[in-house]
Amino acid sequence: MIKRDFYLDQIIERMWNGNIKVITGIRRGGKSTLLFDLFKEYLLRAGVSENHIIEIELDKRKYYKFRDPIYLCDYIENIVKEKKEDKYYLFIDEVQLTKMVKDQESGIEVSIYDMLNELKAYSNLDCYVTGSNSKMLSSDIATEFRGRSSQIKVYPFSFAEFYSYRGGVASEALEEYMLYGGMPGLINEPTTERKRAYLKNLYDEIYIKDLVEHAKVQRQDVLEEVLDYLASSIGSLTNANKITRAINTKASSKISDDTIAKYLKHTIDAFLISEARRYDVKGKRYFDYPNKYYYSDVGLRNVRLNYRQIDAGHIIENMIYNELIRRGYSVDVGVVEDRSTGSKKLKEIDFVVNNFDKKIYIQSALRMDEEKKKETELDSLKLTADFFKKIVIRNDIPTSFYDDEGIMHCRLIDFLLNNVELF
């Protein structure tokens, strides 16, 4: 089993903080393993008795009755009230599978959120839940738990996590990761054919069906067109209107901008796609559109296109973005004005990365073996004309170094393995 100390430490830090711990992320991204295996193992090693860990896995038949939140709440209360001096841990998996029920006394419909807020009042109970998709989105958590939750976002395996398990030559491992990504279930698939089949099944049987069912998507064909478009335009600026025009050129019936915008939001809400907004570095403002979109896992992106567009530059850019947000940074696409030719021209910085009060600029570059390519990548960084750290992450250098302009040239593998200090 691959250790996921990055996330495990976050859970441990939040133990008994008075909040409900909500572990979210893309389906099959490792949330359940993190809670029911890794965190449970930690508690047992710390001396917690196994009968003080209450485990409810709502996707398993034996736990279906607990999908009634009132029944679940009553069950838990009977346990924790019996021995108030004992500490208990509650794990609920796939909490989005619960249903709304009517309280017989008040006649009011209640949800799992109501019941968890009620259970939270017990000082000898520490609550942890996992969920994905429409019922466990960030907005829902903020609303339903009324600011009384701690959220831990779990992503597919990073390259560092993947490499810690795979080992071998780092460059060969990177090539494999760029093709198949880091979905945890892949570690059990020994062949290329099995890996591809696993990813395709995830997409067709889990993500598409989930979006259709939970997000009430009426046009699955249009949803798939949106996902195809996003997969083929990694690193390119786009918006709902642009996607609509592209789809309508080959659609038998015209699709509205509003429909595309809604479907785009569904993919983001399901943790399948991430959005990076454009930020005017000197004007210190955000643009309304267009923005960039990245897949949460490059393997899912590649299988979506049936491995037809294996563009290493775009895949690397996607990987860098994923790694930055996984580390908890705020990441935007930078825009800076160039007036050196006498006319206003906007140039792009791949990523403006904020870590609280600190900021860095990052360019992604597959290689910089031509002078023109060097100018393209470095000019945008120089145009910022400020003192924040500037980095080019490259896949064509044997070691990281600083150039005469003070710009750091960082080897891709060093960055992915967290062997360099960004801030």
For the chain, domains (ranges, CATH) are: 5-153 (3.40.50.300), 155-423 (no CATH)
Q: Token pair for residue 254?
A: 């015209």
- The DSSP bridge pattern shows strands 292-295 and 273-276 to be antiparallel
Terminal-to-terminal C-alpha distance of the chain = 31
CA-wise closest residue to 180 among 157, 160, 210 = 157
Q: Is the peptide bond before 184 cis (omega within 30 degrees of 0)?
A: no
Q: What is the pTM of this model?
A: 0.93
Q: What is the CA radius of gyration of the chain?
A: 23
Q: Can you tell me the distance from the alpha carbon of 33 to that of 338, in angstroms, rounded to the nearest whole number?
A: 49
> Residues near 141 by Cβ (< 8 Å), separated by ≥ 6?
22, 24, 149, 151
For tokens 């403002």, name the residue: 285
SS (H, E, C) the chain: CCCCHHHHHHHHHCCCCCCEEEEECCCCCCHHHHHHHHHHHHHHHCCCCHHHEEEEECCCHHHHHHHCHHHHHHHHHHHHHHCCCCCEEEEEECHHHCCCEECCCCCCEECHHHHHHHHCCCCCEEEEEEECHHHHCHHHHHHHCCCCEEEEECCCCCHHHHHHHHCCCHHHHHHHHHHHCCCHHHHHCCCHHHHHHHHHHHHHHHHHHHHHHHCCCCCHHHHHHHHHHHHHCCCCCECHHHHHHHHHCCCCCCCCHHHHHHHHHHHHHCCCEEEECEEECCCCEECCCCEEEEECCHHHHHHHCCCCCCCHHHHHHHHHHHHHHHCCCEEEEEEEEECCCCCCEEEEEEEEEEECCEEEEEEEECCCCCHHHHHHHHHHHHHCCCCCEEEEEECCCCCCEECCCCCEEEEHHHHHCCCCCCC
What pairs with residue 330 in β-bridges? 354
| Cβ burial, residue 17 (10 Å; 0-12/13-18/19+) | exposed
Q: Token pair for residue 262?
A: 């809604």
CA-wise closest residue to 177 among 19, 297, 313 = 297
How many other C-beta atoms are found inside a 10 Å radius of the C-beta of residue 298? 27
CA-wise closest residue to 351 among 376, 381, 379, 373 = 381
- In angstroms, how far is CA 383 from the centroid of its own chain? 31
How many other C-beta atoms are found inside a 10 Å radius of the C-beta of residue 222? 19
Q: What is the mean pLDDT of each run of 10 residues along the chain (423 residues)?
A: 94 95 93 97 98 95 95 96 93 90 88 89 95 59 70 96 95 97 95 97 92 87 95 93 90 85 92 95 91 97 94 96 97 90 86 96 89 79 93 95 95 97 94
Q: Using alpha carbons, list the distances in angstroms from residue 228 to 151, 264, 294, 393.
A: 30, 12, 12, 27
